[in-house]
Homo-oligomer: A and B are copies of this chain.
Amino acid sequence: MVAAETRERVSLVAAEMGFRLNATARALTTGHTGLVGVIVPTLANPFFPPIVTGVQQPLTEAGGNVLLGVSDHSADRERELVHQLGPRVDGLILVAPVSPDAALRSFAERLPVVTVDRTAPGLPGVVVDTPGGVTKLMDHLLGLGHRRIAYLGGPPGSWMDRQRRKAALTAVADGGGELIVLDPVPPRFDAGLATAEHLVRQETPITAVMVYSSYVLLGLFMGLGNAGLRVPEDISLAASDDLTVIGMTQPGSTALHVPLQEAGSEACRLVREAPAAGSRPPRVRIATRLVVRDSTAAPPRGSTRTSHVPSHVPSGAPSHAPSRARKS
C-alpha cells in the first residue's frame, strides 16, 4: 500500500542489509507455514524416497519445504507424527499409511490430508495404477504366446498385492491362459533365488513369471541361470516395478515403469489446492508404462501345452490374439 518507488527502495535496502522476514513469526499470524508434512513408513525401502523427492521439487519451487516423518509402519507412530507435524504444516501427505480409515479421516479434520498409494473414503488420494499395469503386462505375455504364467506376489498381506493379483487373474483368464499364483514373498533378492529353485522343480512347465519386485526378479534371474535356464529363451521374466536394480540384468528386464516421483508431485499439488471442500475428494491415478526389454519373448516351442505331454505336439502358437491390446 505504499508508493511503488518507495517500496522498491525499501526492499532494496532491506536486501542489502540481509534482511529476511521471519517465517516463524509470519506463520504465527497467517496460520500457514509453507511446510508440507510427508509421512513415509520408512526410507530404507527404495520405493519411498522418489515419492518424497516428487513432493519436494514443486514445493521448493514455491518456496516451501518438506517436514519429514517416518512412521516405521506403525499406526501409533503415524498418529503421533500427525499430531506433532500437523500444527506446523499447511498440509499432510501420508504415504502408504497404515492407520484405519476412520483415523485418517479424523486427521483430515484439522488440515488438508492426501494419501499416496492408498485410498481412504472421503480423502483425496494418489494411487499408482499397478493393477492396470499388471493387466498390460499379462496381455504382453499372452500376446507372446504364453499360457501358463506364474505370479510371484507380495509383500505378504499387503492391500496392493491383492489388487495386483486380482488384475492378473482377470487378465490371464480373459486371455485364455492359466495363472499360477505362487506364495507371496518378501521383496528381497534371496526370496527370488529361493523361488527359482522351487520353479525349476515344477512338474507342469511355466513359461513366464511376473514378479512384483525388482529385487525378487534379480534373484530369480540369477537362480534360474544357475539352474541352466536361459532368459528369455527358456522362460520369460517381468517385474511390476522398475527400481534401479531392474537395469542390472542381462538381458535387460521387461518391467512396468512406475512414476513414483510424479505421484509425489501430484500429491503435493492436491494438498496445496482447495482444502477438499467438494463433496467428492479428488483422486489421481498415475498410469504405469510397460517397458518391454529382452527378458520376455515367445515361449519355447512345444511348451504351450497345459500339462507335460510329449514335446512333439503341433508346435504352432495359438492363433488368437490376446483379449485386449494395449498401447505400450
- Chain A positions within 8 Å of B, measured between CB atoms, are 20, 22-25, 27-28, 33, 35, 42-44, 46, 49-50, 52-53, 56-57, 60, 63, 65-70, 83-85, 87-88, 189-190, 215, 218-219, 222, 226, 244-245, 247-248, 250
Contacts and interface: CB of A to CB of B under 8 A. Distances in A.
Contacts of A244: 46, 215
Contacts of A56: 43, 68, 70
> 7 closest Cβ contacts across the A-B interface?
A43-B49, A66-B68, A189-B248, A68-B68, A24-B27, A43-B53, A49-B49
A220 to B, nearest CB: 11
Given A23-B88, A87-B22, A44 B52 contact: no
A57 B69 CA distance: 10
Contact of A60 (B25, B50, B70): B70
A60 B84 CA distance: 10
Contacts of A84: 63, 65
Given A46-B46, A189-B248, A226-B250, A53 B70 contact: yes
A248 B23 CA distance: 46
B53 A20 contact: no
Nearest to A51: B43
Given A24-B33, A66-B68, 18 more contacts: A20-B83, A20-B87, A24-B28, A24-B88, A28-B28, A46-B244, A52-B68, A53-B70, A56-B68, A56-B70, A57-B70, A60-B70, A67-B67, A67-B68, A190-B247, A215-B248, A222-B250, A245-B245
